Amino acid sequence: MDALATPAQLLVGGLLTGLVFALVAVGLTLIYGVMDVVNFAHGEYLMLAMYATLALALLGIGPLVGLPLVAIALFLFGIVVYRVFIRRLLAGPPEATVFGTFGMLVLLQGLAQATLTSDYQSIPNPPFHGTIRVGAIAVSQATLIEGIGALVLTAALFAFVEFTETGRAMRAVAEDRIAATLMGIDVQRINGLAFGIGAACVGAAGALLMLSYPVYPTVGAAFALTAFVVVALGGFGSIQGALVGALLVGLLEVFGGFYLSPELKLVPVYLAYLIVVLLRPQGLLGRR
């Protein structure tokens, strides 16, 4: 029985980890799918969301209650960044967005390190610190809530893109910007909404992560790197692909950390990434 419990425990842990990765990655893949822009500062938006959640917690507003506030704040922040910064970069060569968003990464990290301490900080008196047991499988309450919350929000984003008029407009812009313009779609407005929604997704992810993770100025780097791998595995621009890629990454990371070592847990992830890139460059569910 114990021999079967360990793989089952790892399977549950990997799936829950992957769901959180999915919520971080769907915002990145949405921005790329609509705007053809890779936002290298995506991880720093996660860092900002986690600090915002910490600030609300210090005011007595818990992460789950504060999640809508953080998501809305990041949505508005994303729209401002697009209108002030990204829109101008799109008028230049394709490399402009690469260097521009990377410069924003450095700027936000530097501001965080200059104005906040580099210490790891967690919310005081975190809720959901218990453990749920089902047979031989034990899952922390915080991890379970993070996974379920990420799944619900990812599903909500998919439904928005697939079944709403604005979502159809986003898909039209992603397919052909010129044709979308001729059909009367305001491409600049759709771009701004996509960037704002992508930021809101990572804002929600940051609020959920504060249930069990500490925050520090460079916390977004590790999550952003994993999100890029997830998006490449699933297929750039595919929300379903981001979910599939995130679950795969979560499982490989957890099983690799257990059967290899915690230091080598990302080796299976990057091996899978290389194999997929070589055999199917567009990703598992992406299109050429």
- Reported as a single tens digit per residue, the pLDDT across 73-106 is 999 999 999 999 999 998 888 789 999 999 999 9
- Which residues are 138's β-sheet partners? 133
The pTM (predicted TM-score) of the whole model is 0.91
Name the class of domain 2-117+124-279.
Answer: mainly alpha
Cα–Cα nearest to 41, from 195, 173, 233: 195
Both tokens assigned to 246:
């995130």
- Residue extents of the structural domains in the chain: 2-117+124-279
246-288 per-position pLDDT tens digit: 999 999 999 988 888 888 888 999 999 899 888 888 888 876 5
CB of 190 closer than 8 Å to CB of 103: no
